[in-house]
Amino acid sequence: MRVLVISDIHANLTALEAVLADAGPVEAVWCLGDLVGYGPDPNECVARVRALPELVCLVGNHDKAALGEIDVAEFNPEAQIAVEWTQQALSAETGAYLRSLSGREAAGRYTLAHGSPRRPVWEYITDAEVAGANFAHFDTPFCLVGHTHSPALYVALDSGCEEYYPLYGAGAMSLGPERTILNPGSVGQPRDRNPQAAYALLDPQANLWEYRRVPYDIPAVQERMKSAGLPERLIRRLAVGW
């Protein structure tokens, strides 16, 4: 079985289409949240994700901000402007769908959370210490998270939690027997200094995990962001993957 694992699309339809084309046929899709926010195509991205097969989809903090469900005071100024733009752009249908989503789900031997199993919408798992503390907050062997926009994996060893970053953000591996937290990176706004869209393919029966990167037409997205009047810094960061 091939499961496409995607996260943090952030209203970037061009990156999403590149990922779907690169992944090829899959039996199921697990989307870890933040479908909207930052980018120019919120309704298009949500419609595209909703049409994917056997979908499990989570809500992220930017989705909740676009719905007006959370205070954006903690967001940086450019993110706040993007939230306001997204709130205006969001259709009633897109809003109703995002409102129906949860920040955490279970799928067989995998727990799915946007940020972390402990605090699904908000917590960033950015180091082994935070990851280590989160193993007590899910029961399955494996947990998939997004939110940081950087591919990473954290393995629970007897000696403590070990942190690994995939070389160049790509590569395949088999999971287990140790419990593991995995982050596929971000489709629409990578922040690991690699501007290519990030995602992962999972075979949940064989516990095979593959990080992948795919180039996409970044200038086309930047043009749409300019036309939408989105902040310059958000437009520039796509090209440098930060």
| Nearer CB in complex with Zn ion: 34/41 | 34
Helix ranges restricted to H, 73-151: 77-89, 92-99, 128-134
Residues whose CB falls within 8 Å of the CB of residue 210, separated by 6 or more in sequence, listed in order: 171, 172, 173, 200, 201, 202
Least distance (Å) between residue 34 CB and Zn ion: 4
DSSP calls for 4-26:
EEE---TT-HHHHHHHHHHH---
- Cα separation, 32 vs 25, in Å, equals 19
Burial of 157 (0-12, 13-18, 19+ CB in 10 A): exposed
Q: What is the C-alpha to C-alpha distance for residues 171 and 213, in angstroms, rounded to an integer?
A: 9
The answer to whether 123 touches 115, Cβ cutoff 8 Å, is: yes
The CB-of-207 to Zn ion minimum distance in angstroms stands at: 26
Distance of CA 89 to the CA centre of its chain: 21
Q: Which residue is nearest to Zn ion (CB)?
A: 34
Q: Phi, psi (5° rounding) for residue 99?
A: -65, -25
Residue number with CB closer to Zn ion (9 or 153): 9
Measured from the CB atom, the residue of 34 and 210 that comes closer to Zn ion is 34
Residues that bind Zn ion (CB under 5 A): 8, 34
Q: Which CB sits closer to Zn ion, 32 or 143?
A: 32
Closer residue to Zn ion in complex, CB, 4/36: 36
Compare residues 36 and 131 and give the one whose CB is closer to Zn ion. 36
Least distance from C-beta 61 to Zn ion, angstroms?
7
Cα–Cα distance, 212 to 190 (Å, whole number): 12
Least Cβ distance, residue 173 to Zn ion (angstroms): 24
